[in-house]
Amino acid sequence: MKVRALLTAASAATLAFALAGCATSAPSAATPVAEAAPAPAHTPIVWDLTDLYPDAAAWQSEHDAVVADMERISAYRGRLGRNAATLAEAMELTSGLSKRAVRLFVYATLRGDEDTRIQENLARRQLGNQLLSRLGEATSWMNPEILTIGERRVETFIRQEPRLGVHAVNLRETLRFAEHTLTPQSEAVLAAAGLPLGGPQRIYTQMAGSDIPWPTIEIDGEQVRLDAQAYTRHRQNPDRDTRKRVFDAFFGTWRQYESTLGEALASNTQGQVMNAQVRNYGSAREAALFANALPVSIYDQLVSQAHAGLPTLHRYFRLRGRMLGINDLAYYDIYPDLLSYDATYSVDDSERITLEALQPFGEDYLNILRQGFAADWTHLYPQEGKQSGAYVFGAAYDVHPYVLLNHQDDFDSLSTFAHEWGHAVHSSLSNSTQPWETSNYATFVAEMASTINEVLLLRNVQARATSDDERLFLLSQELELYRGTFFRQTMFAEFEAQIHAAAERGEPLTGERMSEIYLALLRSYHGADSGVMAIDPAYALEWAYIPHFYTNFYVFQYATSVAASTLFAERLMSNQPGAQAAVINMLRSGGSQHPHEMFVAAGVDLSTPAPYRAVVTRMDAIMDEMEAILARRG
């Protein structure tokens, strides 16, 4: 994902955070990992940041130059409507500064994530955030002034001045926001408030990553410090008693901070509500979706169809209980593999299998993968102090994307590998096709570009399975993709919608109240009232563990993306005429169109039931096959 050409301080503060993690599992708090894994001899292990800047001194020199050049912006204040040439000069200046500032931000983030313990890295990252905030403040007067020019004259200027061609999309977007744009003075205040309003998220990240004293429990004869990384690993333990102890200790720790973290999330939520109200939106959700011209009907359709598909989800839980030999399925039973399947996937394997699975995209796509695999685009393995999770940064427009991984040589690592390289190829295709001004694609499209790779990967390895056990394992992995990405993320989306609605009604929003809301959703999605799964109220603190709730109305896009990906993948695998071109054209389009328009043009309308029903239909087909295999085996 990239930032918009003209940044706001709020988006700058949350950019890197929004990119962390992968859609197939619950977002985890930012915590460094401590164990390193061996690497193949030929594969570059660590990315080369000299493609961005030769060294830290060069970064600082460019930072200072951008700060100095920002002083030139004010010279255009009050003059944008003078003529087309003046408007073009101002747009060129601010666009160029935004590109340079984002590149600085990318370097600071990547260098910081190599080792989160180094104070110099932390200071540089803060400078990068501050620079984007300052740029937002320095340009905050521009949109109100463009609106005073009026649509008719702006369109005339675009026709008169060729240099405005690359800025036409952003100019028209500014006009689209007319009724939600304030006076220059008010816009300046909101721009300056961006960093303070991002405070709850930074407080949460600091607490979750460094300050919470995580418990130590014995697992398999060893003392394990149960931080977020360890929880993610050990919640899959094959021993049921161990899983329960992991859940109890981990969420018991979060409960100690229920009030504090409730206040943090409430403050973040109220900040979003305040922003929506002062900008004349009907709700915070409407404001979030309006940013990408998404109809609210998409969100409502998603939730409605997820609820309609709950019988299929509950069928999966019953199958899970049967395969695990558990009659009283509990929430701590949702993560262990349904059968033991020992397979390792080195980085060499991940590269080879990913290339095989993504053949339906065609050679242009595959050539970008080959180029990236052979070059220094990736930070591959866990190491002490390194940022956990996985993400892609493709926002440094004139430089290749950077991919952060923590490859553990298991199937999850293979899946994450394919997912993140989907983001990387998307960035490459967009940046090579679009000018900087329209290269920034929306998250709504970005998550489809990565999730479709997971779907194609799973279908490819399933077709190559050589035993019932292997096929059952791989089919169960696809079920987990849909559980974790469609149903779980929609449950998160419902939670977000409910806490924002409560704030908009002026209701008290405490940590205890958030736990009540979250518990009701857990029980509904997991069939507690119909005896499908027992939900311990202690696990209602899971909301506190999910960092994406600080990134306003973000997670629903994981669910819409896996629905679209399921349809697109079916079309690609069946060689449907035009399917390959439709998807590749979307990836090349960047931000040149609104995302919903892109999907509709490619043949998928996410405001209708069809994409979501495709997920449910596929899940039922998978379970039909799994049950047939189990019946045959007796």
Angle subtended by helix axes 151-160 and 168-176, to nearest 10: 180
Q: Which of 454, 452, 428 has the alpha carbon at shortest distance from 590?
A: 428
**Look-up: residue for tokens 């994409």?**
611
DSSP run (H or E) holding 634: none
SS3 340: coil
Is 420 among the catalytic positions? yes
Q: Could you tell me which residues are beta bridge partners of residue 219?
A: 222
Which three-class secondary structure string do you get for 520-566? HHHHHHCCHHHCCCECCHHHHHHHHHCHHHHCCCCCHHHHHHHHHHH
SS3 33: strand
Distance CA 512, CA 334 (A): 25
Cβ 501 vs Cβ 283: under 8 Å: yes
Distance of CA 541 to the CA centre of its chain: 22
Distances (CA, A) of 353 to 348, 414, 464: 9, 8, 11
Instruction: List CB contacts of 367: < 8 A, sequence separation 6 or more.
Output: none
Look up residue 607 and give its two tokens: 């405001």
* Residue of 137, 161, 187, 420 marked active site: 420
Q: Roughly how many angstroms between the first and final C-alpha of the chain, as a whole number?
A: 48
User: How buried is 565 (Cβ within 10 angstroms: 0-12 exposed, 13-18 middle, 19+ buried)?
Assistant: buried
Maximal C-alpha separation, the chain: 81
Active-site positions read: 420
